[in-house]
Structure 1
Amino acid sequence: MVYTLAQLRGFVAVAEHGHFGRAAQSLLTSQPSLSRQVQGLERAVGVSLFERGPRGVQLTVAGHVFLRDARRILSLSEGAPETARRVAAGRAGRIQVAFISAAALSTLEPLLTEISFELAQLEVALVELSGAEQLQALADGRIDLGLVRPPVPTEEFDAQAVHAEPLIVALPVGHHLAEKDGPIAADDLIDEPILEYAEDGTDYLHDLCVRLLGSENFVAAQRVSQLSTALALVRARRGIALVPRSAAAMRFDGVIHREVAGSSPLVTLHACWRRDTMNPALINVIAYLRARLQP
């Protein structure tokens, strides 16, 4: 089955006007030429699309069905060049974004909202992966953008910090520090059993906790890999935890959160991508992120 867009346009015009002569006038062509086009289309499709009469034509049952598809094909063909231009310019297209679970608490929703506002025709596909899994997926070309904790290997990837927040203290209800109003001094945490992290196979959060208290004052309790596990163990009175402020959004019953007095190390989240990316949509997202996050 081979037919042309010109034949489809001729068919749609005849269907809409119900007359070859009027349809030919609207297309600025001759009636015999239009008639040959429609006949060629009917031969290609293999069915009669019109019932012809002395006063005009009417669509057959098959013609009614074919008209719907013909209009859709013409609409797609007319929009395809502009779609290709938008994709080439990075205003449309698709990017695959991976995120760690902590990003869903602090960054993912506002970041996606802003990107959707700036690049409304961009499709963003999401997948949750650990930081190590994201770096491997980026290297393999399976994702375009990752949301990870540092450090980010700079030989292969580029990165932009997209979120920073302080550490706060998670305490079980009834803990003597939970009874205090206001922020808790870091010195008050000395000798307290503190849950330590190996999040995503790195020591990033653990190192921040040690930096806050000093290695000589850090009393390690259970080792965990997820913030949700840390909060569950706090509730079970297996220790206290230093968590990013956004972790309070999990709202664990039996867990109270307190700010840390003074300056606290900031927990950061980075967007990272391959330096050699050729995806125009991703390049636009990167430019937007850098412009948005400039001091």
Structure 2
Amino acid sequence: MELRHLRYFVAVAEMGSLTDAAEHRLFTSQPSLSRQIRDLEDEVGAPLFIRSARGVELTSAGRAFLDHARVVLAQVDAAVEAARRAAQPSKPTLALGFLTGTEMTWLPKAMQVLRDDLPSIDVTVSSDYSADLADALARGRLDAAFLRQEIGYGLEYRVVHREPLVVLMPNDHRLAARERVRPEDFTGERLVGVTNKSPVLAGIIETYLEQAHISMLREHGVDNLAGAMSLVASTRGLSLMPAYATNLLPWSVVSRPIEGDGPSIDLVVGYNKTNASPVLKRFLARLDELVDEGRAGRD
């Protein structure tokens, strides 16, 4: 088994199509890709895909193999990145990532933790979707990131803040007159949901609606906060978002807390435990200060 077999397998699994993976991700011919996948299945000793006219789907063996294949490829990429950094040791660096929107609150706090080290290190900052941050951590492109607790990437996580979900609605919505939205108020309203690009948030929302026996009209799905606010304003739907969204709302959208035992979501600092960066170690050693900041924000 070679690395290319794993890369081909992951590409097909993510694209859901041999043809699309061959043409748009791997730039090889579809018959050649099919042979490589068959060779991999022969070596594994089990079928990894179910072929159909609509494309391919993972078998149970394929789903089990996918997580391990991703981890192996991520470790290879991380090893390459570590070697490149070691070959250019001019100045220590720390690459920080933030779930888009959270950097407004947490970047100043992270920089405060690093204040004693800042003169001697270069800090780079990026923002992205949570799952993409997790992938970048696994591949060694980021040292630490503020994100959701994504599974399947082999990362370590420390919770720094637990925040409630709030309800976003048009500023003239009938529920805007309430101080808090009751679970029964959701019934019959349109839901501006989130896509699988935010799997942790999507799962929390789905669990809450199911456990509270809330029935909503599910007409839209978005993969970012800006899209949620736009659809809330234009479709007069409701959206459940982490409370930090309140700081980013346009005039046309307002937020209200949920009455009772509403859903919440954790913001974590994630890192790859195989990352031997001394700057990362110093950052993690002072992580309790960030945890204290998060706790103070909840009190």
Mark yes or no: TM-score above 0.5.
Answer: yes
Whether contact under 8 Å (1:232, 1:252) holds in the other structure is: no
Matches within 5 A, 1:222-241: 222-241=220-239
SS in 2 for 1:217: coil
Whether contact under 8 Å (1:152, 1:272) holds in the other structure is: no
SS in 2 for 1:247: helix
Provide the rounded CA distance (Å) in 2 between the counterparts of 1:248 and 1:158.
29
- The residue type equivalent to 1:185 in the other structure is R
Whether contact under 8 Å (1:105, 1:249) holds in the other structure is: no
- The residue type equivalent to 1:119 in the other structure is D
SS in 2 for 1:264: coil
Q: 2:246 aligns with which of 245, 248, 253?
A: 248
Cross-structure match for 2:259: 261
Matches within 5 A, 1:100-249: 100-112=99-111, 114-121=112-119, 122-153=121-152, 156-180=154-178, 182-198=179-195, 201-214=197-210, 216-219=213-216, 220-249=218-247
Cα offset, 1:279, TM superposition? 0.6
Cross-structure match for 1:21: none
Q: Structure 1: state its 5+ residue gaps.
A: 1-91
Provide the rounded CA distance (Å) in 1 between the counterparts of 2:252 and 2:198.
28
Provide the rounded CA distance (Å) in 2 between the counterparts of 1:94 and 1:143.
10
TM normalised by structure 1 equals: 0.61
CA-to-aligned-CA distance 1:87-112 (integer Å, 9 cap, x gap): xxxxx932111222132244233333
Runs of 4+ in 1 over 4 A off after TM superposition: none
Q: Say if 2:94 is the partner of 1:98.
A: no
Whether contact under 8 Å (2:134, 2:150) holds in the other structure is: no
SS in 2 for 1:137: helix
Cα offset, 1:262, TM superposition? 1.5
The structure with the larger Rg is 1
Provide the rounded CA distance (Å) in 1 between the counterparts of 2:260 and 2:239.
18
Q: Which deviates more, 203-212 or 242-251? A: 203-212
- The residue type equivalent to 1:128 in the other structure is S
Cross-structure match for 1:72: none
Whether contact under 8 Å (1:144, 1:273) holds in the other structure is: yes
CA-to-aligned-CA distance 1:101-160 (integer Å, 9 cap, x gap): 132244233333x22335343432112232232233223222211222122446x31111
Whether contact under 8 Å (2:165, 2:263) holds in the other structure is: yes
Cα offset, 1:223, TM superposition? 0.6
Cα offset, 1:290, TM superposition? 3.8
Distance change >3 Å, CA 140–CA 207, structure 1 → 2:
closer
Distance change >3 Å, CA 292–CA 245, structure 1 → 2:
closer
Matches within 5 A, 1:39-54: none
Provide the rounded CA distance (Å) in 1 between the counterparts of 2:289 and 2:127.
26
Provide the rounded CA distance (Å) in 1 between the counterparts of 2:259 and 2:116.
38
TM normalised by structure 2 equals: 0.61
Matches within 5 A, 1:262-277: 262-277=260-275
- Give the aligned length: 200
RMSD: 2.3
- The residue type equivalent to 1:279 in the other structure is S
Q: Structure 2: state its 5+ residue gaps.
A: 1-90
- The residue type equivalent to 1:276 in the other structure is T
CA-to-aligned-CA distance 1:183-216 (integer Å, 9 cap, x gap): 11122112211111026x2422222222333265
Cα offset, 1:166, TM superposition? 0.5
